Amino acid sequence: MICILVELPLTASELAPLMRPGVEARQIPPHESAWELAPEFLSGPEVLLCKQPPRNLDDMPHLKLIQIGTVGYEHLKSLAFERRSVRVCNARGVFDSAIAEWNLGMMIAFTRDLRGMLRNQEHAVWERADRFAQEIRGRVVGLWGYGGIGRETARLAKAFGMIVHVLTRSGVGPRSFWCPEGTGDPEGTLPDRVYTTAQRLEFLGTLDFLILALPHTRESDGLIGPDELQALPPRAVVLNPSRGPIIQEGALLEALRTNRIAGAALDTHFHYPLPADHPLWRFPNVILTPHISGADKSDRYRPRIVALFADNVARYQEGRPLLNELTREEWIGA
């Protein structure tokens, strides 16, 4: 019998997909954000579903697998999983459609100057300007990274008649990670053009929109700086639903101040919360959202994380490869 411990606040019906022969699922009572497992939960579990492992993780002698409910895992860096025997899988794929919808919404908002129309509405200004009547059809969206978010964004963008350019280190092929059924680009056939990292400036020069769809690692920290922003056409808008520090803060502010780029949509930030006196609040061509492009408050989150977890439990039970398992190289690079 495999004992599973569930830290997420799931209902009995949401737990049902985990109930299979040879599996016992136990729900942990609600707790504070900095949490410890009560003694009665320590000795049995082999598998744990949580957002953050408990502080007394080292007191779980039989734990073999952790499924985290987040895509990012930099918050677990201090636990040194690269030196542990416990396997960890993340929630890659769970938030793809939500973030892709945010990406599409931001591109439409900038193309139609939605902020300008709303400002006019607030001041009872009737202005039928040309900038309010434009379309995203035929515009070029560049995806820096082509994982789940990039693939689902590409699918939506193609449905709206956009041209999709992709920049990756390893090319584009069939996906190898979990995704909700019907989403993404399973075979990797949607991009109109694929660039390598060495071609990044050429890639940037083709774009109307740059979307950052890659994780924040030591390698990607500060990846977008003055040279990259200078390579973008002045018409380009930067979208960052990934992690704030991938863009150099000073370089972004300078590009916006000098109209080097047309604008930015930022869901992830350099400071949490973004201070009220931060200059980004005052740019008329910037849209700021409070890290909600893909969030566990969505009513789609819990069914999806349970579906992923149930699949991994079955794979663990049967000795098959796990989905979204983090590698030693990924832990070291986090």
Domains parsed from the chain with CATH numbers = 2-94+298-333 (3.40.50.720), 96-288 (3.40.50.720)
Structure tokens, 81: 């999983």
Q: What is the pLDDT along the chain (334 residues), one digit of tens a residue?
A: 899 999 999 988 988 998 889 999 999 887 766 789 999 889 989 999 999 999 999 999 999 999 999 998 988 989 999 999 999 999 999 999 999 999 999 999 999 999 999 999 999 999 999 999 999 999 999 999 999 999 999 999 999 999 999 999 989 999 888 888 899 999 999 999 999 999 999 999 999 999 999 988 889 999 999 999 999 999 999 999 999 999 999 999 999 999 999 999 999 999 999 999 999 999 999 999 999 999 888 999 999 999 999 999 999 999 999 999 999 989 988 6
Cβ–Cβ < 8 Å for 172, 194: yes
Helices (H) and strands (E) in the chain, counts: 9, 12
Q: Which residues, in sequence order, are bridge partners of residue 6?
A: 27, 49
The alpha carbon torsion through 221, 223, 225, 228 (nearest 10 deg) reads -170
Cβ–Cβ < 8 Å for 149, 213: yes
Q: Of 36, 37, 28, 38, which Cα lies nearest the Cα of 8? A: 28
Using CA atoms, how far apart are residues 293 and 128, in angstroms rounded to an integer?
A: 30
Q: Which residues, in sequence order, are bridge partners of residue 247?
A: 224
Q: pTM for the full model?
A: 0.92
H or E segment at 164?
strand 163-167
